[in-house]
């Protein structure tokens, strides 16, 4: 009886990321494919090539474990051009008389920026494939 209770407690610690197993980075796991956020220009090329809208792509929720981990990773990211810190800021755009605001991660020194992962973004997922070498899929991030 006591050993089964201890076994159950150990299992809960493992499942909850406790001291027994420790926490691990979901993006570094072998079975998790590579994820990347598409920028505006890449999305436009994809849209023209496939002839679809964002909403026509398969969806992924904003609270998916991979999306949550990607947002955490963006907060401590560095610029790939000059290796300075990326800070979160708001970019304003005007389209047909309507001004919209979008969160972006901007470099403190150079002009590099990347979008913050959130609803409305497109993720590119690259999986390793024995047949094709690699397979590319796209997901539309929705609130979740």
At 76, the pLDDT band (50, 70, 90 cuts) reads: confident
Give the mean model confidence (pLDDT) for residues 116-125. Answer: 90
User: What CA–CA distance (Å, rounded) separates 114 from 104?
Assistant: 6
pTM: 0.71
- pLDDT above 90: residue 16: no
Q: What is the pLDDT of residue 61?
A: 94
Give the mean model confidence (pLDDT) for residues 117-134. Answer: 90
User: What CA–CA distance (Å, rounded) separates 123 from 103?
Assistant: 16
- pLDDT above 70: residue 2: no
Alpha carbon distances (Å) from 109 to 1, 34, 81, 112 = 62, 28, 10, 9
At 124, the pLDDT band (50, 70, 90 cuts) reads: very high
- pLDDT above 60: residue 104: yes
User: What CA–CA distance (Å, rounded) separates 84 from 140?
Assistant: 29
φ, ψ for residue 47, nearest 5 deg: -60, -45
At 7, the pLDDT band (50, 70, 90 cuts) reads: low
User: What CA–CA distance (Å, rounded) separates 66 from 70?
Assistant: 6
- pLDDT above 70: residue 4: no
Identify which of 119, 11, 21 has the alpha carbon closest to the alpha carbon of residue 64.
119
Task: Name the residue with higher pLDDT: 41 or 15.
Answer: 41
């Amino acid at each position: 009886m006591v050993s089964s209770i201890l076994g159950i407690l150990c299992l809960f610690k493992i499942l909850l990321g406790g001291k027994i197993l420790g926490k691990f980075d979901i993006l570094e796991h072998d079975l998790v494919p590579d994820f990347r956020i598409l920028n505006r220009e890449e999305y436009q090329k994809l849209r023209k090539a496939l002839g679809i809208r964002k909403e026509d792509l398969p969806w992924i929720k904003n609270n998916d474990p991979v999306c949550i981990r990607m947002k955490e990773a963006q907060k401590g990211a560095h610029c790939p051009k000059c290796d300075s810190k990326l800070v979160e800021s708001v970019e304003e755009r005007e389209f047909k008389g309507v001004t919209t605001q979008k969160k972006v991660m901007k470099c403190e020194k150079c002009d590099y920026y990347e979008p913050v992962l959130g609803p409305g973004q497109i993720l590119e997922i690259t999986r390793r494939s024995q047949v094709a070498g690699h397979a590319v899929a796209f997901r539309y991030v929705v609130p979740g």
